[in-house]
Amino acid sequence: MKNSLFTAPFLVQPYSRSRGALAIHRYPQASGEIQSGFTLIEVMVVIVMAGILMAIAVPNISNFIANGRITSAANDLVSDLMLARGAATSSRRLAVVCATSATDCNPTVTCSATDNDWISAGRLIFIDNHSPIGTADGDCEAGDTILKYTPSNLTPNTLASPTSFVLTGFGATEWIAFNSYGVLAPAIGTRDFTLCVTNATQCRLISIGFSGRASVTRVP
């Protein structure tokens, strides 16, 4: 009895050159003959549109950065004030926030009388161990306890919308002191800082009330 042979249906396969026959392209349209690109007019339109978008975006970015800087600077100041107030109540001594570029008190450091130094020179926070409990002289001397030094974070200028720091309610002193109750010392009125930064949409008013609490509000 002869063996039965089962064969698959005959399929025509394209032969490549390596198999001794010419290759057959089943999809000649995919052979790379079709080319694409942009016309000069299309490129110019895209460039013009990109320029318009940049002209709109750049001022907004500048305002966004300036608003971030003024918010950060105002929050840093409030943080320093609250640190000093808390230290005064816990140590039962006077705590002072002083505008100065000095990072220690040996030799004696006298707080700056220039408003803008609160942001351009830096701030020193210390416990005044020499002055009477009810008063402060604004000087940091050897033996006083330094709590923190905050380096300068803004540079004042004289442009139409300047970066500036204006103090009101300070009288002859331009430093902040808290007594052992956390109240301003000397306890006369309030202290206000008006902080403006170039390109920021609004300034910031940092107010320290008689009780020693600080608040931040937006002002023109």
28 is a domain residue: no
Q: Is the pLDDT of residue 5 over 70?
A: no
- Band of pLDDT at residue 29, cut at 50, 70 and 90: low
Residue-wise pLDDT for 138-188, tens only, equals 889 888 999 999 998 888 876 766 889 888 888 777 889 999 899 988 766
In a domain, 118, yes or no: yes
Residues 35-59 have pLDDT tens digits of 567 787 877 877 877 777 666 655 6
What would the pLDDT profile of 87-141 be if each residue is shown by its tens digit?
A: 999 999 999 999 999 998 888 999 998 888 988 899 999 999 887 665 677 889 8
Residue 1, pLDDT > 80, answer: no
Residue 82 has pLDDT above 70, yes or no: yes
- Asked if residue 12 belongs to a domain, the reply is no
- Residue 147 has a pLDDT of 95
Q: What is the pLDDT of residue 17?
A: 52
Q: Is residue 147 part of a domain?
A: yes
Pick 84 or 4 by higher pLDDT: 84
User: Is residue 27 domain-resident?
Assistant: no
Per-residue pLDDT tens digits for 53-78 = 666 655 678 888 889 999 999 999 99
> Rg for the chain (alpha carbons), in Å?
36
10 domain-assigned: no
Range of the domain at 180: 40-219
Question: Following CA atoms 81, 82, 84, 90 in sequence, which dihedral angle do they give, to the nearest 10 degrees?
Answer: 160
Residues 6+ apart with CB under 8 A from 26: 14
Indicate whether this model's pTM tops 0.85: no
Residue 4 covered by a domain: no
- Calculate the CA 60 to chain-centre distance: 16
> Is 11 contained in some domain?
no
Q: How many domains are there within the chain?
A: 1
pLDDT at 54: 67
CATH of the domain at 202: 3.55.40.10
DSSP string, the chain: -PPP---PPP---PPPGGGTS----S-GGGSS-------HHHHHHHHHHHHHHHHHHHHHHHHHHHHHHHHHHHHHHHHHHHHHHHHHHHHTSEEEEEE-S-SS-SS-EEPP--TTHHHHT-EEEEEESSS-TT---SEE-TTSEEEEEE--------SSS--EEEEES-TT--SEEE-TTS-BSS-SS-EEEEEE-TT-SSEEEEEE-TTS-EEEEEE-
Distance from the Cα of residue 80 to its chain's centroid: 17
**CA–CA dist 1, 21 (Å, integer):** 40
